Amino acid sequence: MDDMTNRAIQASDIFSDYLAQEIKKNNANIKTAEQLEQEKLDIINNFEEFQNKVNSSLKLKETFKKLQQLFLTNEKYASTVDPLFVESTLLLKLD
């Protein structure tokens, strides 16, 4: 084998190893449908747990009712607050 062929083979092997490592990294970042479903269930369970905690405390319940009313009646104020917090607060079912 001449030197040029040898270098091409080595470069090819190095590239193949690099590509294999990149594929492993990408596959590690891809979540399975089961993992995504479990994450959704965890979020729902955490939200329900938080909702129960709020409903079990008169002070928290009153505070979140006021926030719900504020977010519903004052869009300008609501736009200054984290949208996820606003949405989550409005989703709370307060007894």
pLDDT digit string, tens, across residues 51-76: 999 999 999 999 999 999 999 999 99
* Cα–Cα distance for residue pair 47/49, rounded to 1 Å: 5
| Amino acid in the structure at residue 61 | K
DSSP letter, residue 81: S
Global pTM? 0.63
- What is the number of other CB atoms lying within 10 angstroms of the CB of residue 89? 20
What are 24-40's pLDDT values in tens digits?
Answer: 887 777 778 888 899 99
Q: What is the CA radius of gyration of the chain?
A: 26
